[in-house]
Each structure stands twice: as C-alpha cells, then as structure tokens.
Amino acid sequence: MQIGPYRLPGRVLLAPMAGVSDRPFRELCRAQGAALAYSEMVTSLPALQDDRKTRLRCDSRGEKGIRCLQIVGADPRLLAAAARLNVERGAQLIDINMGCPAKKVCNVASGSALLRNETLVARILEAVAAAVDVPVTLKIRTGWDRATRNAVTVARIAEASGIAALTVHGRTRACGFSGAAEYHTIAEVKQAVCIPVVANGDIDAPAKARAVLDATGADAVMIGRAALGRPWLFRQTQRYLENGDAGPVPGADERRRLIVGHLKELHAFYGVPQGIRMARKHIGWYAAQWGAHDRTLLQRIYQAEGGHHQIELTRELLSPSPQDQAA
C-alpha cells in the first residue's frame, strides 16, 4: 500500500484512539507489526497548541517509522494552521478526524458531525491538503445515521480534494460502536475512488482481517480496540495475511517482557504520577487478556503510587501460579 511517497511495510494499521494512542503505545504496536500508527486526535484550536496535553499527544520524538498525527476541528483555516504547525514539529503524515462519534466532539460540529455538511468537508480537505507538503489522509464513518449514509459522496470529495488515503469505519455516527460493521458500504467506497481505502471496524482476529479485505477490496485494515491488551495482534494479523498462518500468541515470558517494557515507557514519557495513572488502564487490559483476575492484587496495582512498585506488582500478577508451575 502506497500513501504519497511512503510504501507501507504491511497492511495492518493502528487506529487513532483518544487516551490510548500515545507515543509509548504507538511504538509498541509498531514494533509488533503495525505498518502505521496514528496519534490520538489533536485539537486545532490555537489557544491549546502549547498546552501540555496537546504537546504530549503530538510528541513523536525518536519514533521510528512514519510519524502520523491526527487533527480534529471544524474550521478550515484553523485545521490548515494546525497541520502546518505539526509538520514543523515532525509529523510526516496528517490525518483529519471526521469519524469520532463522541458527543463533546460532535457538539462543536467536529468529528463525524462534519459528515452532515459536505460543503464544509470539501473546504476543510482542500485547505489542509494545500497547507502542507506531506500526505493528508482522512478517517470517516459511513454517515451521520442510517438514513443519511454518504460515505461514497465524501470519499469522492476527498479524492478530488487531494486526500492521499481514506479510512472508513463501517458504522454511522448514530451507531456508535454497536451493531455489525457495514462492510458492504466500505466496498462501495473502494469501488468509487482510486485512492487507497482502509477498512475499520470489528477487526479483532487475523482471520477476520482476511475476511474483511476479501469482502471490501480494501487496501489495508485498521485495528483499534481489539489491540488493547494484545498489541501482538498486529504481527499475527500481518503474518496471517501473508501466509494464512497467524502463528502462536507470544509466550508468557515474551508477553511479560513487552508489558513491563510498556509500563516503563509510560512512566518515562509522562513522568510520575501521571505515567502511573496512564498505565492502570493498560494493566487492566493486559490482565483481562492474560486471564489474571486476582481482584485484590489488581486493586493494589491501581493504588500503587511508585512506578517501581506498580511494575513489581504487575510482574506478580502475571507470574505463573503454583498450580501452573506444578502442571
């Protein structure tokens, strides 16, 4: 798959997820086989460009691979300025968010709310594509609701506006994350445009990725929530797409090493105590995937105030039980 000057090493991408797709998680997923790893969405409001939260979301220092940053907003001029600023800060690819279903985003006419105004969509896409000399991509849903699906129309607008690739989450904004993804709509989008199309929604296993690519004709798939607690899903999926064999889940020792490494990176990136707080949700996701359900120990982990203490308790949570060792 080619996006502008970039030829991707695979067909499995990490979705931009608010509160999740920070630099430590992107680096982990990329090391585990994600061909692209998008940042969480970053505001285009000028007053917040130097805010600490925004700076952390934009931080791509030392990142390997293509540095992809997603911006959100509703003003073409501000979005263009935000794109320019973030390219100056190191972004090599800009993505525009027109897919977020969150009320706080849609209530300010951003995210998937933009799909109700195709004229504004065109103005935004043209402004951002003209503002930077790096590829600009777009993420959308299939429409605002089932009665107003317009993904094909928006895709054609995107192609005409200079957008380099398009990701389609196969649900309307009204659907949120419920119900089955509409892969037939993604297939219609793929047939309507010549730019690369990425399929997103409910891709939670290597075989599902293969089935979605076959059903939609898409150039790649994007995985989001299914990677929480199992970042190795990217390398398993890419391997499956290449030879039909996902291979085994990483062994316990490798998983433990990856998890501890991730926690250390979170602590270093955010500092203490924010890094400890940010690590808690990941520990919960890892524990759920591991089958580690010691609630008392999990509670101690969530209450840990030092980074070393949090890591040692996590190691204990993920260590083999005496019964496992005896077996």
Catalytic machinery residues: 100
Q: For residue 323, count other CB atoms closer than 10 A to its CB.
A: 7
What whole-number distance in Å separates Cα of residue 18 and Cα of residue 43? 11
Cα dist from 134 to 72, 82, 224, whole Å: 17, 13, 24
Q: Which two tokens stand for residue 32?
A: 């585990």
Q: Which two tokens stand for residue 102?
A: 């969150």
- Judge contact between 114 and 74, C-beta under 8 A: yes
**CA-wise closest residue to 18 among 2, 38, 47, 34:** 38
What whole-number distance in Å separates Cα of residue 174 and Cα of residue 117? 16
What whole-number distance in Å separates Cα of residue 303 and Cα of residue 277? 9
